[in-house]
A and B are shown apart, each in its own frame.
Chain A
Amino acid sequence: MERKISSIKFLRFLKTVLLYIIIYALALVVLAPFIWMILTSFKDMSEIYVYPPKWLPSRLNLENYINAFSAAPFGRYYFNSVFVAAAVTFGQLITCSLAAFAFARLRFWGRDVLFFIFLGTMMIPYNVTMIPSFMVLYWLGWIDSYAALIVPGLASAFGTFLLRQFFMTIPKELEEAAYIDGATKLQVLRKVIVPLAKPALATLSIFTFMGVFNDFIWALIVINSETMNTVQLGLAIFRDRYLTQWDLLMAGSVTAVLPILIVFFFAQKYFIQGITLSGLKE
C-alpha cells in the first residue's frame, strides 16, 4: 500500500517535471529567433552560409554593425525614429492629460455624449482613416516631413480614456485645497493631478513610444526620401536591397529591436498594463 502511494507521488512528480521541461522548451523555441538573430549578427558570411548551421560565431566581431551603418544611414534613421516617437509621446502626454481632465473634472453640456463618441473612435480601423489622412497631409504640403509623422499622432482616444479613468480615482479634496488657495484649473492639473497620476502617465508614455517606434505602415505611406526614413522603414528598404546579406540584415534587425527590448526588460509591468487595458493594439 505504501509503495503504491509513493509510486503515485513519484508519477505526479514526474509529470510536473515533464511539464516544466515542455514549457521551458517552448520558451526556447519562442526565443530562438532572437538568439539566432543576435548570433548571426556577429558572424561573417562564411560562417552564415554553412549547413548544418553553426550556432556560435567564432569571435565577437562588430564588423557587420559597422558595415550595416555604412551601407545605409542607420544613425540618421535612428535619430528620426527616436525624435518622432519622443515628440508624439510628449505631445500625447499633454493633449491627453488636458482632455482627460476635462472629461474627469469639468462639467459642461454634452460631456458624456462627447466622451462616448471619443470611445467610439477607438473602434475605427486605421486603414479607413489612412487614405484621407494622407490626403490632408498632402494638401497641407507636409508629405515627407517630421510633421507628417508626428502631427496625426498628437491625440489619442486610448490615452485620454486611460488617463481619465485614473484621474477619476484621485480624491477631489486635494484639488479643493488648491482651488481655495486661488489656483487655476491648469495649475491644479499640473501641480496636483499630474504628480499623482505618474503610473498612468508612465503606462501611456511607454505604450505610445513603443507604438510609434515600431510603426511601419504610416511611415511607408508618408515618407519618400532616404533622410526622412525611420528605423523600421529603413530596415524594410534595406531588406529589399540586400535580400540575402544576412550579416547586414541581422545587424540591422538587432538595431531596430534593441531599444524596445531594453525598455521592456526594465518596465515590463507598464507594457503588460497597456496591453491589458487596450485589449489589443497592433
Chain B
Amino acid sequence: MFYSHRYINKNKYKKGDFLSAFLFLSPTLVIFTAFILFPVFFSFYLSFHSWNMFSGDTTFIGLQNYSRMFQSAEFWQVLKNTAIYTIGTIPLNMVLSLWVAQILNKKFAGRKFLRTAFFAPVIISPVAAAVIWRWMYDPNFGLINYSISFLGMNSVNWLNEPTAAMFALIIMGVWKTFGINMVLFSAGLQGIPDNYYEAAELDGAGKWAKFWHITVPMLSPTTFFILIMSMISSFQVFDIVYVLTSGGPMGSTKVLVFYVYEYAFKFFEMGYASAISYFLFAVLFILTMLQVKYLKSKVYGVA
C-alpha cells in the first residue's frame, strides 16, 4: 500500500512539473525581475552615464562618475562620517548586547519583561524613534542634559555641534539596534552545552576563565556573524539620520545613503548617484563574502 503511494506520486511528479513550477514561481519572478534583477544591472549601466531623468540627458561618460566621486571632498567626508558611525556603534553595541544576553540567559524573576524592554526599540519605527530622541536631546528641556547635570556636566547643544551630533547619533543607533544582537547572542549562548561549563567548574575554573575559555571561543561564529551584519547595516543607516540630524550640522552626520538619496532624488543625477551606490555595494559585497567564506569554513569544521 505504502509502496503504491510512492509510485503514483513519482509519476505525478514527472508529468508537467516544469509547467506548474513556472506558474507557481511566476508572480515572484515578475516582481524580482522588475525590482531587483533589472535594477541591479541597470544601476551599473547608469553609473557610466550622465543621466538626468527629467532633462532626458543620457550621455555615456565612461568612468567619469567614479572619478568625480573619488575627487569629491564631500564624498570622502561622507565616507568618513559613515565609518565613524560604524566604528562608534559596533563595539558598544556588541559589548552591551553580549553582557545583557548573558545575564538574561539565567533564570530569574522578570527575565521576560527585561527581554521585552531591551527589544522594544528594535521594532518601533525609526522615524518616531528619532523624533523622540530629538526631544531627549533638546538643549534646554531635554532629558539627556538634565541627566548629565547630575554628573556635574554642562549642557551640550547635542544636535547643533558637529562632534556632539555624531555622538548623539551613535548613542541613539546603539539604543535602537542592540536588541537585535542581544537576541542573536542569546541564541548563540543557548547553543553552548551546559556540561562544558560543569566540567570547567570541576576543574576549578572561575567566572572569567569560563567566559574566556568557553563562551568566547564557542560563541565566535555568532560574534563574527553579528559583527559583519552590524557593519552591513551601519553602513546603510539612513532613516534615523534623516530625522534626527538631516545630515547636519555642517554635513557632520551626512552618511553614504543620505548622499545617494540627495543626488538621486533632490538633484536627479541618477548616473552619479548610481556610481556612489555601486561603490557602497562593493564595500558590502566584500563584507558579505567574508561572511560566506567564514561560514563555509565553519561548515567544514576548519574554524
Contact of A154 among B5, B27, B126 (CB under 8 A): B27
Q: Are B114 and A23 in contact (CB under 8 A)?
A: yes
A95 vs B143: C-alpha distance when bound (angstroms): 46
The B interface is mostly helix, strand or loop, or mixed, namely: helix
Interface residues of A in 245-282 (CB under 8 A from B): 246, 249-250, 252-253, 256-257, 260-261, 264-265, 268, 271-272, 275-276, 279-280, 282
Q: Are A185 and B20 in contact (CB under 8 A)?
A: yes
The 7 closest A-B pairs by CB, nearest first: A132-B39, A155-B31, A129-B39, A102-B24, A214-B125, A256-B128, A108-B21
Contact of A250 among B21, B100, B116, B132 (CB under 8 A): B132
Query: Which one of B61-69, B74-82, B196-204, B276-284 contacts A?
Result: B276-284
Given A250-B135, A279-B184: A125 and B123 interface contact (C-beta under 8 Å):
no
Q: Are B127 and A232 in contact (CB under 8 A)?
A: yes
Chain B 30-50, CB-CB to A under 8 Å as 1, else 0, gives 111011111110110010000
Interface size of B by Cβ–Cβ distance < 8 Å? Answer: 92
Residues from chain A with Cβ under 8 Å of B260 in the complex: 127, 130-131
The A interface is mostly helix, strand or loop, or mixed, namely: helix
- Asked if A151 is an interface residue, CB under 8 A from chain B, the answer is yes
A282 vs B122: C-alpha distance when bound (angstroms): 9
A237 vs B122: C-alpha distance when bound (angstroms): 22
CB distance from A268 to the nearest CB of B (A): 6
Q: Which residue of B lies closest to A123 (CB)?
A: B288
Residues from chain B with Cβ under 8 Å of A121 in the complex: 32, 36-37
- Asked if B136 is an interface residue, CB under 8 A from chain A, the answer is yes
Chain B 167-182, CB-CB to A under 8 Å as 1, else 0, gives 0000000010100100
- Asked if B257 is an interface residue, CB under 8 A from chain A, the answer is yes
Residues from chain B with Cβ under 8 Å of A125 in the complex: 232, 236, 277, 280-281, 284
In the complex, how many residue pairs between chain A and chain B have their CB atoms under 8 Å apart? 272
Residues from chain A with Cβ under 8 Å of B242 in the complex: 216-217, 220, 236
CB distance from B104 to the nearest CB of A (A): 8
- Asked if A136 is an interface residue, CB under 8 A from chain B, the answer is yes
- Asked if B158 is an interface residue, CB under 8 A from chain A, the answer is no
Q: Are A127 and B265 in contact (CB under 8 A)?
A: no
Q: Are A131 and B264 in contact (CB under 8 A)?
A: yes
A108 vs B146: C-alpha distance when bound (angstroms): 65
Contact of B9 among A40, A99, A133, A179 (CB under 8 A): A179
- Asked if A94 is an interface residue, CB under 8 A from chain B, the answer is yes
Q: Are B281 and A128 in contact (CB under 8 A)?
A: yes
